[in-house]
């Protein structure tokens, strides 16, 4: 073999290894990256800089994506700190409360260092020996946490989107196998596929419709079921919908229960839904992406009673488990259902491995190369303990309840939901209601542009509402009180000056 040229030798030193040069470069790079993060946090007094897309485009246009030669890492990271980080939403800021977007736990950030440096790939055992076994142990613990028996199993996923997709995929394939003796994996969709139906509440997550579309059933397959006044799926309405479907000779295959709807945090009555699913031979999938973490809390766990009856469960850790994105899991009551997606590649996970008892997690996943995200959850569970997570959850739900009480006590604010989780939906009510949608939208935009607060908005019927998602344990009732005053003040000003017109 020829000698390495000087530049390629330099590039070889750019990899992590046990050579002295490599270790020094690694330590230096990680320390620089940490310093950039620390500087960024130190500068953030607001949840967002307020820059709009045009301004950001200009800021970023100055740098070539791939220069011809090399550059100093330190300079690059500093550039990123100034341009990207300084124009990022500050998830740890107490008034960054728009979405299910959490501040990450420090132990999980430390684990990320190990995950990326060791770069295990979770598809086959020979690419992640100990990591495979730890993921499996964490999965076994999760199955227990959700009240599953020994026959259960699961897999880490990128999040709720993937977990919901897997649940409905297995639901479709079990139904067609059992009723039509049809293998979708082998034969594709049968001619009758357009008759299959999935039921979920009218406020379930859009990924349920997305999954139906991707599964070749079309969004038409998802029947939205009416909710009660607390935005929970109404069992009476469900029974009624089912009767109608049977009458139209359609084929209901699955029922989706939601634990924590995105807008209201409402939790469907799982035990009742489980019974209806069982009586009708439906696969019962629970989308607990948001609210699954309530299983950690003595005070709130009871809200999920019945989840142990679900055929499958989606749970996210990058929401109420405070993990950096991405981290989620799909849990399955009867592990043999994974057979519907099992594939064996001779190079990766040959059938002989199964016989030899070598666990290749790829047989349970729709991803191939996959990160060892189970590790960061494990490190966080170890560090905080069950009680630590329970405290975080209890605190944020208490704050949501207090927030709802504050809103309820103000005559020019209208509360929509009494929180079961930590989402609070409300609106500013101007004296003249004809401009109320524009005023509420403008309040949100102004707070974002001023970098004062990052809120969400949502639509109920024809009306625009504001939403707080109180995930951050560092947000206090004083932050909320101040923010509500600002909202009232802005609303009042907009009413007086009529400035809402200018932007719409």
Q: Which is nearer to ligand PLP, 44 or 161 (CB)?
A: 161
C-beta neighbour count of 248 within 10 angstroms: 10
Q: Do residues 500 and 442 lie in contact, with contact meaning Cβ atoms separated by under 8 Å?
A: yes
Q: Do residues 473 and 429 lie in contact, with contact meaning Cβ atoms separated by under 8 Å?
A: no
Q: Which is nearer to ligand PLP, 176 or 307 (CB)?
A: 307
Q: Which is nearer to ligand PLP, 123 or 287 (CB)?
A: 287
Half-sphere exposure of 280 (CA within 13 A, CB side): 26
The reply to whether 420 sits near ligand PLP by the rule CB under 6 A is no
Q: Strands 463-469, 456-460: parallel, antiparallel or unpaired by DSSP? A: antiparallel
Task: Give the nearest distance from C-beta 443 to ligand PLP in angstroms.
Answer: 24
The reply to whether 258 sits near ligand PLP by the rule CB under 6 A is yes
The reply to whether 165 sits near ligand PLP by the rule CB under 6 A is no
C-beta neighbour count of 133 within 10 angstroms: 13
Q: Do residues 390 and 320 lie in contact, with contact meaning Cβ atoms separated by under 8 Å?
A: no
> At a CB cut-off of 8 Å and minimum separation 6, what does 181 contact?
none
The reply to whether 207 sits near ligand PLP by the rule CB under 6 A is yes
Map residue 294 onto helix, strand or coil.
helix
Q: Which is nearer to ligand PLP, 274 or 293 (CB)?
A: 293
Q: Do residues 257 and 286 lie in contact, with contact meaning Cβ atoms separated by under 8 Å?
A: yes
**Token pair 């999920």: residue:** 304
The reply to whether 328 sits near ligand PLP by the rule CB under 6 A is yes
Q: Do residues 443 and 466 lie in contact, with contact meaning Cβ atoms separated by under 8 Å?
A: yes
Tell which one of 241, 311, 316, 452 touches ligand PLP (CB under 6 A).
316
**Alpha helices (H) in 409-468, listed in sequence order:** 436-449
Task: Name the segment binding ligand PLP (CB under 6 A); options: 29-37, 49-57, 153-161, 390-398.
Answer: 153-161
Task: Give the nearest distance from C-beta 369 to ligand PLP in angstroms.
Answer: 18
Task: Give the nearest distance from C-beta 290 to ligand PLP in angstroms.
Answer: 4
Tell which one of 32, 161, 227, 365 touches ligand PLP (CB under 6 A).
161
Residues in contact with ligand PLP, counted by CB under 6 A, come to a total of 15
The reply to whether 262 sits near ligand PLP by the rule CB under 6 A is yes
The reply to whether 287 sits near ligand PLP by the rule CB under 6 A is yes
Tell which one of 182, 231, 290, 428 touches ligand PLP (CB under 6 A).
290
Task: Give the nearest distance from C-beta 439 to ligand PLP in angstroms.
Answer: 28
Task: Give the nearest distance from C-beta 57 to ligand PLP in angstroms.
Answer: 26
**Token pair 């049968």: residue:** 190
Residues in 81-100 at the binding interface with ligand PLP, rule: CB under 6 A:
100
Q: Strands 153-157, 312-316: parallel, antiparallel or unpaired by DSSP? A: unpaired
CA distance 109 to 104: 7
Site residues, ligand PLP (CB under 6 A):
100, 159-161, 164, 205, 207, 258, 260, 262, 287, 289-290, 316, 328
């Amino acid at each position: 073999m020829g000698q390495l040229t000087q530049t390629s030798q330099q590039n070889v030193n750019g990899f992590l290894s046990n050579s002295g040069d490599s270790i020094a470069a690694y330590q230096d790079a990680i320390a620089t990256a940490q310093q950039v993060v620390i500087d960024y946090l130190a500068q953030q007094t607001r949840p967002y800089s307020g820059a709009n897309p045009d301004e950001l485009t200009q800021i970023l246009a100055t740098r070539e994506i791939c220069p011809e030669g090399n550059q100093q890492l330190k300079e690059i990271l500093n550039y990123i700190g100034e341009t990207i980080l300084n124009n990022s939403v500050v998830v740890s800021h107490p008034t960054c409360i728009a979405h299910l977007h959490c501040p990450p736990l420090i132990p999980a950030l430390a684990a990320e260092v190990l995950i990326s440096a060791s770069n295990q790939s979770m598809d086959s055992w020979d690419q992640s020996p100990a990591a495979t076994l730890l993921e499996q142990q964490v999965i076994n613990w999760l199955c227990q946490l959700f009240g599953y028996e020994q026959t259960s199993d699961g897999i880490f996923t990128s999040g709720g989107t993937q977990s919901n997709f897997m649940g409905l995929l297995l639901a479709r394939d079990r139904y067609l196998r059992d009723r039509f003796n049809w293998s979708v994996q082998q034969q594709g969709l049968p001619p009758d596929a357009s008759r299959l139906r999935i039921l979920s509440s009218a406020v379930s997550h859009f990924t349920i419709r997305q999954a139906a579309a991707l599964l070749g059933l079309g969004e038409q397959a998802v029947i939205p079921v009416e909710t009660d006044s607390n935005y929970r799926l109404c069992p009476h309405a469900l029974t009624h919908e089912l009767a109608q479907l049977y009458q139209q000779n359609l084929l209901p295959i699955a029922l989706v229960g939601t634990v924590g709807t995105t807008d209201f945090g409402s939790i469907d009555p799982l035990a009742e839904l489980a019974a209806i699913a069982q009586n009708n031979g439906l696969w019962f999938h629970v989308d607990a992406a948001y609210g699954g973490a309530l299983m950690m809390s003595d005070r709130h766990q009871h809200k999920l009673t019945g989840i142990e009856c679900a055929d499958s469960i989606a749970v996210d850790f990058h929401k109420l488990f405070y993990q950096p994105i991405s981290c989620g899991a799909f849990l399955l009551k009867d592990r043999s259902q994974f057979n519907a997606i099992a594939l064996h590649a001779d190079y990766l996970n040959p059938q002989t491995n199964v016989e030899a008892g070598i666990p290749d997690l790829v047989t349970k996943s729709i991803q191939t190369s996959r990160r060892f995200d189970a590790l960061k959850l494990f490190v966080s569970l170890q560090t905080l303990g069950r009680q630590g997570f329970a405290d975080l959850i209890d605190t944020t739900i208490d704050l949501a309840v207090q927030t709802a009480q504050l809103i309820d006590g103000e005559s020019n604010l209208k509360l929509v939901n009494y929180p079961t989780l930590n989402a609070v939906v409300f609106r500013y009510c101007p004296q003249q209601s004809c401009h109320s949608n524009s005023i509420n939208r403008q309040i949100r935009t102004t707070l974002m542009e001023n970098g004062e607060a990052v809120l969400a908005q949502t639509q109920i019927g024809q009306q625009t509402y504001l939403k707080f998602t109180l995930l951050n344990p560092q947000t206090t009732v004083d932050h909320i009180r101040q923010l509500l005053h600002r909202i009232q003040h802005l609303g009042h000003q907009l009413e007086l000056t009529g400035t809402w017109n200018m932007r719409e």
